[in-house]
Amino acid sequence: MSESLPVVDIPQGIIKLKHQLRNFSGALRGKGPVRIIAMGSSSTAGREDVVPYPSRLEMYLRQHYAGLLPKVWIDVLNRGKGGEEAPKELDRFDIDVFGDKLPAMVLWQVGTNAVFRKDEFDFCDVIGKIAEGVRRLGKCPIDVVLIDPQYVTAMLRDDKAELSERMVSEIRRIADDAGVNVFQRWALMRHWHVENGVSFDELLDPTDRPAMLHQSNWSTLQVSKALCQAITDATP
């Protein structure tokens, strides 16, 4: 990574959520802590050298609402487990999502491992489990935001580029069919790489070689800021 960090923009056309977050908005006006559950794999769980996005998002949301709603306390609960994909994550819903007080919002980062380790997963099965998970969440007063894969070298190698695009497309289709949101991490990071000229050396965790899959501390921070903006803009 270069000594000076790159400057990037966050296009509204990419990060804008299609649907307002009405359950989250209602929770902000209620009593008690506002709970957000972050489900996912290593991008959610974090790595030793990278602060995970749920921790950053919690800080940014608290800062944003501190002056607007000073009595509100927001908790973003990290339920990420490295290496998992939708089938195992769905098995954890009963405990990690529905097991305690219902959250106002669930952020579900999904789809990366089905591409990166494509020989270990059945693509159609993963898509079916994502759709099933969204249906289960839709039965409760919970706002759902799917987070699609990261735009990194490992997801563009060999035949993975086409499969990555297919995964991004399928996640968008599932969200549209169910009337839930997608945070377009893939498109946002691609924009930084293509339009802002950010190298993969800056987007990627330098300790994650030769896999070249995980985001750097810097790019995780930028994604967290963008996600916070997307959430606050979509909150009535």
Domain CATH for 191: 3.40.50.1110
Contacts of 187 (CB under 8 A, 6+ apart): 14, 151, 168
CA neighbours closer than 13 Å in the CB half-sphere of residue 150: 26
Inside any domain, residue 5: no
SS (H, E, C) the chain: CCCCCCCCCCCHHHHCCCCCCHHHHHHHCCCCCEEEEEEECHHHHCECCECCHHHHHHHHHHHHHHCCCCCCCEEEEEEECCCCCHHHHHHCHHHHCCCCCCCCEEEEECCHHHHHCCCCCCHHHHHHHHHHHHHHHHCCCCEEEEECCCCCHHHCCCCHHHHHHHHHHHHHHHHHHHCCEEECHHHHHHHHHHCCCCCHHHHECCCCCCCCCCECHHHHHHHHHHHHHHHHHCCC
- What's the whole-model pTM score? 0.96
Contact 48, 82 (CB under 8 A): no
pLDDT at 159: 86
Inside any domain, residue 7: no
pLDDT tens per residue, the chain (236 residues)? 445 778 999 999 999 999 999 999 999 999 889 999 999 999 999 988 899 999 999 999 999 999 999 999 999 999 999 999 999 999 999 999 999 899 999 999 999 999 999 999 999 999 999 999 999 999 999 999 999 999 999 999 988 999 999 999 999 999 999 999 999 999 999 999 999 999 999 999 999 989 999 999 999 999 999 999 999 999 98
Inside any domain, residue 28: yes
Q: Say how far apart CA 2 and CA 156 lie, in whole Å.
A: 23
Inside any domain, residue 119: yes
φ, ψ (nearest 5 deg) of residue 114: -65, -25
Inside any domain, residue 21: yes
Inside any domain, residue 122: yes
Contacts of 141 (CB under 8 A, 6+ apart): 23, 102
Total count of domains within the chain: 1
Range of the domain at 66: 12-233
Rg (CA), the chain: 17
Q: Say how far apart CA 134 and CA 106 lie, in whole Å.
A: 10
Inside any domain, residue 6: no
Inside any domain, residue 2: no
Q: Say how far apart CA 32 and CA 197 lie, in whole Å.
A: 44
pLDDT at 3: 59
